[in-house]
A and B are shown apart, each in its own frame.
Chain A
């Protein structure tokens, strides 16, 4: 009864489950016995007909009281002993453990292997080998929790902590942050991939992706990020006004800010505006639209973006990405084609519309089809084919309450087939 722990996946997990289940059984037994006795007494000795019956003045019983002092004490000592014994196992790291550095930072987990390989949010380990995680934090308290392995340890700024486990089965397991760390605490997740030793060796020594990135110049890395992160949804490269200021000839420009002051755009201002965009907003642009990228971009990433922005002298206009939806279009379902458009950097729908329910700049697409939306004019509308089509071609006509009118119209950029595919895709986002 009451067995809800995730399937044990580390060597000591079954031990911990054993003592856990023993506590469950004892708890159920004592609760049923004591509450059962209470209910039995309540019924057996209830007052009848509103009149008290004679009761004996029993003051206590030294024998009984001795029993119910000694028995719980012995039970407690037994449980405490095994809790401590298994804890010692959890803290005694085998000498041949593979050490991996884990760094928590608002709101992501970084992992670094001894050969210098780095990953974010993805921890890969070999099965049946002891794994030691050395945990630290770059900002506030976090806590690294692997439920299937039965381990958890806080990431404490200014201190290194550790945990270890020996995974006993291959698979993908969930990791959580369990120490509250601010806004996106609940999104500070990671995956643990337990793979065969051979696969782990191959993976660990495959540095091609990093090599590729390393080979790119900073401006090329910035260009890749500019599309990956959906920046292009709001910032044009050709001087046209979208949701945010255009990046053409940005460096050296003097911008008027919303508080009336003037700001010469230099590398420091660009960096600040990427990491903490609402601090200094350019006049006539709405505040609180751009998400803060603090914690999501490394210093190298920011360097890359700055190099890319510096290179925007207007000559890139022709290089603006064109629709590529035709690729592979033949063998895709309409919904897949729609998703392709959603993810296509040329349109960057994902820059403003999430599919996981979170509120970004525009309404989330999660469950959007068929949803009732309240509009800014007070009326309501059911999201159907006609509304979606109209909202893509002429977004300013019917704005959902709580959102601003800032989406560019796609009239002429998407044809009827594209829109049909998008609608099919939206039906699948639940």
Chain B
């Protein structure tokens, strides 16, 4: 069927004692590993812990919003929880997200390499991430105990959980009586982890492709991860500098953003969004790649319009750098720049639309099966349609004036980030689970969890679009009584969603730890290179360097004009 693996990479040469999970042995070998697959797993477990923590914070926020007025906490506690939900989800879960977990695991396998270009740097990235995560956890602490100790901690900037919103807008973040320095310091450190991972991937894709793995044979996931890596490398330093300036201003009174010291709060917004808009594509481009891998395999069809899909990733990454101030249409920027940024934003819509059309067309005349990875991929297409079309409202200048900072925006970015990036990660975990673990999960439970995820998610966030249209502002502890019914639906939806994620991830965890069912080494008959080696892969991935003779998507019977 496949002509891409020649010698030494076929399934028959199974060498179970030498697979990456078993070799080398011992706890120390895991925490000092330079194996990209193990580092991918280390990332995976770490970020899922933070997914859980920030998810619990989200449930607390939603519970407080069940009724107008106070339910379970006061306004200050609420402000703290929505800030921590956002900051932890963004900086500790979804930015590393798919690239650091699936990207680390799959990228070298997909291009036929033994590892990433700089394995030690890769391990260092992980530990920089851990350092940043510890700093973020420190920022959650509310100091108690003797007064002397409290004064000492306050001198270190440790005052209490952050309440600024994950955006850290000045001058509020300069005045807030909370551990802003620690949380922004954490984001600063985490940025280095992201930059180094991106750099590593860029060099890996350029330098370590197996013989015959030309650019136009690369899987779309590799293209997407490559485009992501470029953004990570180029955009992250800007937010690093910005947060450092904020820390300097808080600690030493250097006047950059505070107007009382001659600074400009709008400048902070520019700096912040120059990174934080492209970062949306860091989160969601790899998910595009995942869906682009799953749909062909489950439809037995080549990805429709391969080149357009790959170049669209690069186009999105490039245009993503030129649209940041669409977050600032009402922030006091000049009308001329508002007009430019609105027009530029519309150009992101085009390559994104192309991708959606291509995914759906791939299913045309396919032979389609509906295991959980495909269900997640199809769910992704719907959720991302909603995310994309609601983005049009926000790009339209006169209309965004109304929606800016309302629940409409909250719903839009949750459709993009949760419906896009998180559902993409779930699809990837279910698809590559047999490759990573050598086990098979319970498919019935996986499908059931998918239903809960999908229904719960829409139940949570569709009402929030309506709330936004009715004018409900975001980050509100309390609200007018007319908004109550929709808030209640949304809160119930968030519980259903949480049960769905818990069920799905527990299903995978239990299968990995306890299941006796050995997965076939290529359960869905994928043609791409990572499935041509054994499961779990060898420590060095392939026995011999594979030689690639065809592209990844040779599904189906050749038809006229059908050669790649």
- A residues contacting B by CB (< 8 A) are 2, 4-6, 12, 15-16, 19-20, 23, 26-27, 30-31, 34-35, 37-38, 41-42, 45-47, 52-61, 64-65, 68-69, 72-73, 76-77, 79-80, 82-91, 139-141, 143, 145, 147-148, 150-154, 156-159, 161, 174, 176-187, 259, 356-359, 364, 366
Q: Give chain A residues whose Cβ lies under 8 Å from the Cβ of B365.
A: 45, 55-56, 58
Nearest to A153 among chain B residues (CB) is B330
Q: Is the CB of B305 within 8 A of A65?
A: yes
Kindly identify which residue among A27, A47, A55, A181 contacts B556, using a CB–CB cutoff of 8 Å.
Answer: A55
Nearest to B364 among chain A residues (CB) is A41
Kindly identify which residue among B381, B397, B471, B476 contacts A147, using a CB–CB cutoff of 8 Å.
Answer: B471
Q: Give chain A residues whose Cβ lies under 8 Å from the Cβ of B172.
A: 140-141, 180-182
Determine how close the nearest CB of chain A comes to the CB of B303; give it in whole angstroms. 9
Determine how close the nearest CB of chain A comes to the CB of B325; give it in whole angstroms. 13
- Per the 8 Å Cβ criterion, residues 438-486 of B in contact with A are 466, 469-471, 473-480
Q: Is the CB of B363 within 8 A of A56?
A: no
Those 9 A-B pairs whose CB atoms lie nearest each other, nearest first: A357-B69, A158-B259, A147-B471, A83-B396, A27-B389, A4-B469, A86-B398, A186-B476, A60-B305
Q: Is the CB of B369 within 8 A of A31?
A: no
Q: Does B32 contact A (CB under 8 A)?
A: no
Q: Which segment, of B163-171, B229-237, B274-282, B509-517, faces chain A?
A: B163-171
Q: Does B70 contact A (CB under 8 A)?
A: yes
Complex Cα gap A156–B266 (Å): 8
Q: Give chain A residues whose Cβ lies under 8 Å from the Cβ of B141.
A: none
Q: Give chain B residues whose Cβ lies under 8 Å from the Cβ of A54.
A: 367, 556-557
Q: Is the CB of A47 within 8 A of B75?
A: no
Nearest to B406 among chain A residues (CB) is A178
Q: Does B244 contact A (CB under 8 A)?
A: no
Determine how close the nearest CB of chain B comes to the CB of A179; give it in whole angstroms. 6
Q: Is the CB of B402 within 8 A of A69?
A: no
Q: Is the CB of A359 within 8 A of B74?
A: yes
Determine how close the nearest CB of chain B comes to the CB of A67; give it in whole angstroms. 9
Q: Is the CB of A55 within 8 A of B169?
A: no
Q: Does B386 contact A (CB under 8 A)?
A: yes
Q: Does B338 contact A (CB under 8 A)?
A: yes
Q: Which segment, of B5-13, B341-349, B419-427, B496-504, faces chain A?
A: B341-349
Q: Does B390 contact A (CB under 8 A)?
A: yes
Q: Which segment, of B35-43, B126-134, B205-213, B294-302, faces chain A?
A: B294-302
Kindly identify which residue among A35, A59, A68, A186 contacts B478, using a CB–CB cutoff of 8 Å.
Answer: A186
Complex Cα gap A55–B79 (Å): 54
Q: Does B360 contact A (CB under 8 A)?
A: yes
Name 6 A/B residue pairs within 8 A (Cβ), A-sorted: A16-B398, A41-B368, A55-B365, A57-B556, A156-B332, A358-B69
Complex Cα gap A140–B168 (Å): 12
Q: Give chain A residues whose Cβ lies under 8 Å from the Cβ of B23.
A: none
Q: Give chain A residues whose Cβ lies under 8 Å from the Cβ of B554.
A: 57
Determine how close the nearest CB of chain A comes to the CB of B377; give it in whole angstroms. 10
Task: Knowing A54-B557, A90-B401, A145-B473 are in contact, say whether A140-B69 is a contact too (CB < 8 A).
Answer: no
Q: Give chain A residues whose Cβ lies under 8 Å from the Cβ of B386.
A: 31
Q: Is the CB of B366 within 8 A of A5?
A: no
Q: Is the CB of A185 within 8 A of B475?
A: yes
Q: Is the CB of A59 within 8 A of B395?
A: no
Q: Give chain A residues whose Cβ lies under 8 Å from the Cβ of B214.
A: none
Q: Give chain A residues whose Cβ lies under 8 Å from the Cβ of B401.
A: 16, 87, 90, 150-152
Complex Cα gap A356–B68 (Å): 9
Complex Cα gap A387–B87 (Å): 45
Q: Is the CB of B475 within 8 A of A180?
A: yes
Q: Is the CB of A57 within 8 A of B555?
A: yes
Q: Give chain B residues whose Cβ lies under 8 Å from the Cβ of A6.
A: 470-471
- With A85-B398, A90-B401 given, name 11 new contacts (CB 8 A): A34-B385, A42-B370, A45-B364, A54-B367, A55-B301, A56-B301, A59-B564, A80-B396, A140-B172, A152-B402, A186-B477
Determine how close the nearest CB of chain B comes to the CB of A341; give it in whole angstroms. 23
Q: Give chain B residues whose Cβ lies under 8 Å from the Cβ of A31.
A: 382, 385-386, 389
Q: Give chain B residues whose Cβ lies under 8 Å from the Cβ of A181.
A: 172
Q: Does B215 contact A (CB under 8 A)?
A: no
Q: Give chain B residues whose Cβ lies under 8 Å from the Cβ of A145.
A: 405, 471, 473
Q: Is the CB of B473 within 8 A of A177?
A: yes
Q: Is the CB of A69 within 8 A of B363?
A: no
